[in-house]
Structure 1
């Protein structure tokens, strides 16, 4: 059965994050693995959002020539900003929750990817992050077609100055 989000990368990144969060061995290897688990969990959500936007616009295909421009158009900082705003909450409570989780996952990814080597992310913290990403993907899957279209328009259109 194909998941509701038709981009298998979303689910594969969650599997990778699970595997990395369970890494055993040398302490430094575990540190690197838990950091990458956090990053992979975030990117699963990012690719989920990208999929929602390309599908809502009728552009989702396995042909990268059609999907890549949308993926490149979606700036991660702008996604966080837009999903944290009033317009996201007006779409639905689920979109507002997606926005909260996206911002938190992005902040955790920044810590994991850009902090000095001494940053220690525990296995439990990594697993919690993966669980949060999985919940956010589930929330994305629950959006109806109208909510997906409204979300895509919110994330793709230029912000208006009021």
Structure 2
């Protein structure tokens, strides 16, 4: 994930010259995908185990790939109603915002992106990832379950 953040940073600000719109678009996309991969890893680590644990690689990969962009965003929109701690609420809000920005960057015919705004978005993503990763294991596990599984009454 940090590689994706670094790639985003290089695309948006890696040159003293004004970046091309295509580079800024790719930077927004890379920053969003850093968030998405962080969420996928959180889910897989929560249910199957971290790299140091004896775990089935196939099972870990299955959980990693189980997350869907749209359903993850929809669940993140509901997270504030369920008592999650602030770092998880912050991650969910950044996820929602960045998914919308990625859609505009990837699919809008002519977005006009500004380097400073893209760099601020990248910083927000990096901060959100750090805060989620430093959250308590029980909170991350609860968030992973919340995002992956439908809620039943």
TM-score by length of 2: 0.86
Q: Quick check: 1:30 aligned with 2:20?
A: yes
Figure out how many residues of one structure are paired with residues of the other and give that number.
150
- Contact 1:56-1:148 within 8 A present in 2 as well: yes
Question: Judging changes above 3 Å, is the alpha-carbon distance between structure 1 residues 85 and 131 closer, same or farther for their aligned structure 2 residues?
Answer: same
Aligned pairs for 1:76-95 (under 5 A) are: 76-86=69-79, 89-95=82-88
- Cα distance change of structure 1 residues 115 and 63 upon mapping to structure 2, 3 Å threshold: farther
Specify the alignment match of 1:17 in structure 2.
8
TM-score by length of 1: 0.82
Task: State the Cα RMSD in Å.
Answer: 2.3
Q: Any idea what the Cα deviations from partners look like across 1:106-148, whole Å, max 9, x if unmatched? A: 11101111110x3221111210110111111111112111001
Indicate whether 1:66 and 2:59 are aligned: yes
- 1:28-61 deviation digits (Å, cap 9, x = unpaired): x711001000000000011011111111112445
Which runs of 5 or more residues in structure 2 are unaligned? none
Of 116, 119, 123, 1:127 maps to: 119
Q: How much does 1:158 deviate? A: 2.2
Query: Runs in 1 of length 4+ with deviation above 4 angstroms?
Result: 23-27, 59-64, 86-89
Matching residue of 1:136: 128
Structure 1 counterpart SS, 2:83: helix
